[in-house]
Amino acid sequence: MDEAAVDGLISRLLDAKNGRTVRQVHMMETEIRQLCVAAKEVFLNQPNLLELEAPIKICGDIHGQYSDLLRLFEYGGLPPQANYLFLGDYVDRGKQSIESICLLLAYKVKYPENFFLLRGNHECASINRIYGFYDECKRRFNVRLWKVFTDCFNCLPVAALIDEKILCMHGGLSPDLKTLDQIRNIARPADVPDQGLLCDLLWSDPDKDIEGWGENDRGVSYTFGSNKVGEFLQKHDLDLICRAHQVVEDGYEFFANRQLVTIFSAPNYCGEFDNAGAMMSVDDTLTCSFQILKPSDKKGKFGFGNNLLRPGTPPRKELPDELNLDLDTQIRSEFLASERIQYPSSRLKKRGDVRVMAGLSVADRPFISCELTALFPFACLLSSGVVRR
């Protein structure tokens, strides 16, 4: 796919927004096929464990909520203004999975060294066949195009390492994961198996109520306790695990004494829940801050452990009926004011120490739109301020 064709596709996809509404974008089947082939080649030319450098912005699940994807780019800056890492689950549930994945793939082809996509559990034929993407492809194009997307998804990388300190994946840890080389050595193209390392990286979940490894009520993979997070970080000299995969009320949620963070970037998920969406920015000193999209209505309850809402990732063995994908999902793109939280800060700031801190004022953030309601400084240190060396 030549550069002019990619530029034209990106332009049309960005022009879809008209005020608060986003229209369906007319695309030709041939150009989408060419885009998938080009993206597949880029994915296979890069490692399965991406080794990235800050500054970078990290986004969680999108799930076809194209209007919210466009708002993330409004607030974070269009590529290549900023580097991006997306953690997977681009399709299913929302109304515009095709627009969402096509814009992401086009940016990947256009800026292969600045824009990165990881695989989520919904980038798998057995899941998106049931939860909306297959039906959208069939309705707007044909089943053959869905298979082209499947071939592309099978080549996506599954993890990223930022400055050797922040490990990112869609799901979580695996009892089979002993060294990071195991991730590098996962063969591609590959379908997602029902068990094993690749499955766990895309499917596992943290659980505050257990220690060690537990049975996952999704019917696939495991849950892991905070002790497993600490052990893994210490063994591999890491500071933070960054993952997605679960709806969390504020768009981000910490676990294991701030050694793991979940990011979810689809506010008002499915039009049914009152969650915010979030994007995490990591600057070149490994200081992390969050931009948060405010939800519109109260719908559900959230939290790690037994009371966690998990509508986006159904059990593999007994798939429930598909959710209604025609729900009206008009999203208010306002930022949610964050509660001020401060922790003792006794250590020196230096590269390699991951910190969570947003010290910039609103005036210092030129990318934030006029829809901003409030953004309070958020200052805290990961790992209780202790540097692991």
Domain hosting residue 85, numbered range: 3-298
Q: For residues 333 and 336, what is the distance between their CA atoms, to the nearest angstrom?
A: 9
Residue 323 lies inside a defined structural domain of this protein: no
State residue 295's pLDDT score. Answer: 80
Q: Total structural domains in the chain?
A: 1
DSSP string computed for 224-259: E-HHHHHHHHHHHT--EEEE--S--TTSEEEETTTT
State residue 352's pLDDT score. Answer: 52
> Any idea what the Cα angle at residue 240 is, between residues 254 and 283, rounded to 5°?
100
Residue count (the chain): 389
Known active-site residue 122 = yes
Alpha helices in 112-253 (DSSP H): 125-128, 133-140, 143-153, 181-184, 197-203, 226-236
Q: Left, alpha or beta for 289 (phi > 0: left; psi -120 to 50: alpha)?
A: beta
State residue 307's pLDDT score. Answer: 35
Residue 384 lies inside a defined structural domain of this protein: no
State residue 19's pLDDT score. Answer: 75
DSSP label at residue 31: H
State residue 294's pLDDT score. Answer: 86
Domain of 48, CATH number, reads: 3.60.21.10
Residues whose CB is less than 8 angstroms from the CB of residue 110 and which lie 6 or more positions away in sequence, other chains included: 3, 6, 7, 10, 79
State residue 385's pLDDT score. Answer: 31
Residue 26 lies inside a defined structural domain of this protein: yes
Active-site residue, selected from the candidate residues 63, 122, 170, 245: 122
**Cβ contact 144:150 at 8 Å:** no
Taking the chain (389 residues) in runs of 10, the rounded mean pLDDT of each run is: 96 90 95 99 99 99 97 96 99 98 99 99 98 98 99 99 99 98 98 98 98 97 98 98 98 97 96 94 95 72 45 42 28 28 27 52 28 27 29
State residue 178's pLDDT score. Answer: 98
